[in-house]
Amino acid sequence: MTYGDGPEPQPQRPPAGTAPVEPVVGSAVRDPVRNRVGIVLGCKGPYLQLQPLTGGQVWDADPEAVQLLTHAELLSARVAEVNARSWRELGISGAPSGGTIPAPR
């Protein structure tokens, strides 16, 4: 299939009614509250501790709100990080911040 042929493929999600998979240490997740993507480092109290894909400041996230990323979503987030870093290194203004990917439709 080439780009532009038919509808865009949708991310694979578990069928409705199945038990959600819990994120474990090392899982890549989306925090919809902050619209950020991070790696699960562990738990602190009732919260998951997440860190950006490229490292940086850890933040707390509600484990009930985070969503596991598919392989395609993780790849997209990593490409966004690399592109944002390139823009910053080139000094291009208006560079995307990276680490965010659109929520699935």
pLDDT recorded at residue 96 = 61
Query: pTM for the full model?
Result: 0.67
CA pair distance 47, 62, nearest whole angstrom: 5
Check if the beta carbon of residue 85 is closer than 8 Å to that of residue 99.
Answer: no
pLDDT recorded at residue 62 = 95
Residue boundaries of the structural domains of the chain: 28-90
At residue 86, what are phi and psi to the nearest 5 degrees? -60, -45
pLDDT tens by residue, the chain, 105 residues = 455 555 655 555 555 555 557 899 999 999 999 999 999 999 999 999 999 998 999 999 999 999 999 999 999 999 998 888 888 888 887 666 655 555 555
Helix (H, G, I), strand (E, B) or coil at 28: strand
Tokens standing for 3? 């780009």
Check if the beta carbon of residue 24 is closer than 8 Å to that of residue 1.
Answer: no
